[in-house]
A and B are shown apart, each in its own frame.
Chain A
């Protein structure tokens, strides 16, 4: 049977066919659908959302040590969080097969950076595979588990957004007879990484790399496609498809296993061709390794560039620049410069109420990663930093230590972000006597990545009921003396509480308690409308940045546009009505309800 699957769905299928027992992850675009697919379609596999990638990775290690093939998935920046266990797990090696997915995001479709994790695999000295379409995404999962067990190593599979989210045809096979559950071997010299043991394991790890170097020379996933051209191209991952698209009949060495690299195969390929060009996205990863192996004539990054995604167009332009392809930008239509359509907070989003108040109070807000990061966009512009998950709290503490108490620094982070890596930040605020106000924008879901459960939602990934974290008790237990819960869509209450907490000495935590308007349930209440005769065109409602509010064709005497509300978008959150001085915004009168 063949089916049209995304790269992520194909990974899930591969995991199922490989007889995997356990899968753990923290969500992150573009990796999220892998575990969602497993939870939905392959119910025999235990799977969980862990609070963060480090825990997910450690759960996966546990699964492997316990004797079941295990999978851990994350987006590229997730590997930074999981780096600590990874670096040492590479020393110990596995019991049952262990594979982790790094889903990189060239072009930052939904990320804060575009780090190239191929370099990370090399740093950790773990082999990695790089699929170039959905079919390979499935096949390479089976291969990755084989390599993991045969060479006693964690294995990375490196996806990119284009591979994860593009669909292609995939052959379905039956699950293999996965190796029998292996007993955990209480071998302290292998699994207890005290210095004496680790020194010995480091040697084992280097020997493993030598054996892998031999293996990759013969692997079917590294291959040469010959047409007899003088030009040879070395490429892998999605770039391979672009090369085939623009130069279908050029000799290609396709890299499927990117660490260690098949240097003998590459050496022969380089010798056999007059000119060799490397086509790879982001960093000169292949290029640096090939050049440092003495093949200094190969070319690459001078043509392809180091930022963003490649595309057929960019590859063709690069090859034109290299003088090996006659290509110019095709004729077509020029739309001219277009307005931007930036992502924004949804109509009715509870985060909007919070940011409207923070903006009014002119506070410096250290931010974090989630939907609420959109508080930084126009017209709110009420969030002023965003680095990595959990950073807001430490940033606020440091800023306040430098600028002095009373500088009015507020940290804002979401519920999932707080559980991911905010708890230790609160601990620091208490321990080191910070005066910051930490606001947990709790919308009861991991909204940005599509509404996943987390430890405070009361449900697991597999759909079971479970305990919910109590944020108030948790923060009190960490030593915060003032923990307050507010309705972020109540403007006056939010204003009062934030002001009081800013003035109070010592750290405080404010928790908002309105759920996301989209997930898990769409919230739609009676919409509001503008009484145009009452509207004075002051534009206060425009400045909260609600997609449901737009300028009317009707103008005030002074030529300012009045406001109108799109009834199909308005969720009835009331925020605009609360800030409208002339009280021109009112609940829509629904005829049949009048008089009842």
Chain B
């Protein structure tokens, strides 16, 4: 049922630019001739809540949401959200997590708190993970929004689209004055995807 279908789940916290990443990925899938659906929920989630975007492509897509535990790849803009979303990952799937840590004030008010080390927890569960300092890299490049492009680039070798297609999609969707810096961020992310440089 799921051959010929790729399921990517992108998660983060309201305001991090999760929806931008899923737009870019959808564009690449369209440019390569796929049927595409994507689903996300707006609304309350934008006030600091969890944001998730499901992207699905293949020859024909029915449900806009990924069937439970069928995500081939999870991209997480935040550590603990990566852990939370792990529930959706195929056992043989891959999770790419930015080391960004966003602790909501409610997590200090008693009750269940923010996990000490979500990345270690993901690792301990034996998930196939790549953790990247995407936020630091983005800041070094001068724009925190570049986390989007960096995470997609890290995922790109597993998504089997030509690099040129990604570059074309970036040129198409990103505002002209940010195109160059996004292309640079994409290159950096691709380098990180090589296993040797992974922590």
Contacts and interface: CB of A to CB of B under 8 A. Distances in A.
Main secondary structure of the interface of A (DSSP, over half): loop
A313 interface: yes
B163 interface: no
B109 interface: yes
A341 B48 contact: yes
Given A341-B13, A542-B105, A542-B108, A162 B47 contact: no
Interface residues of B, number: 57
Interface in B86-110: 86-91, 103-109
A140 B59 CA distance: 24
B26 to A, nearest CB: 6
Interface stretch (B65-73, B146-154, B185-193): B65-73
Contact of B106 (A109, A169, A330, A344): A344
A167 B39 contact: yes
Contacts, number: 170
B48 A109 contact: no
A339 B113 contact: yes
Contacts of A133: 37, 64
Given A333-B89, A333-B125, A343 B109 contact: no
B75 interface: no
Interface string A544-573: 011101110000000000000000000000
Given A166-B37, A168-B36, A339-B113, A330 B70 contact: yes
B80 A338 contact: yes
Interface string B34-74: 01111111111111111000000000011111011110000
B109 A378 contact: yes
A312 B39 contact: no
A333 B35 contact: no
A342 B61 CA distance: 32
A374 B48 CA distance: 12
B64 A162 contact: yes
B105 A546 contact: yes
A242 interface: yes
B163 to A, nearest CB: 22
A251 to B, nearest CB: 16
A542 B103 CA distance: 13
Given A4-B30, A335-B86, A339-B112, A30 B65 contact: no
A158 to B, nearest CB: 17
Contact of A332 (B63, B89, B106): B89
Interface string A166-180: 111100000000000
A343 B49 contact: yes
A109 to B, nearest CB: 5
A223 to B, nearest CB: 16
Contacts of B39: 162, 165-167
A371 interface: yes
A343 B48 contact: yes
B93 to A, nearest CB: 9
Contacts of A333: 86-87, 89, 91, 125, 127
A166 to B, nearest CB: 4
Contacts of A450: 42, 46
Contacts of B63: 241-242, 244-245, 311-312
Contacts of A316: 67
Contact of A331 (B43, B86, B91, B108): B91
A339 B107 CA distance: 7
B111 interface: yes
B84 interface: yes
Contact of B83 (A162, A335, A377, A542): A335
A316 B115 CA distance: 33
A248 interface: yes
Interface string A276-297: 0000000000000000000000
Name the residue in A166, A238, A338, A341 with the highest tally of chain B Cβ atoms < 10 Å from its Cβ.
Answer: A341
Contacts of A166: 37-40, 64-65
A329 interface: yes
B164 interface: no
B37 A168 contact: yes
Interface string A480-516: 0000000000000000000000000000000000000
B145 to A, nearest CB: 13
Given A378-B109, A550-B108, A339 B114 contact: yes
18 contacts: A133-B37, A133-B64, A162-B65, A167-B36, A167-B37, A167-B64, A238-B64, A241-B64, A246-B67, A312-B67, A332-B69, A339-B107, A339-B113, A344-B106, A542-B105, A542-B108, A546-B105, A549-B105
The 7 residue pairs across chains A and B that have the minimum distance between CB atoms: A110-B43, A343-B47, A166-B64, A313-B68, A332-B69, A166-B39, A312-B67
Given A340-B111, A343-B47, 7 more contacts: A4-B27, A109-B44, A167-B36, A167-B39, A312-B67, A334-B125, A379-B106
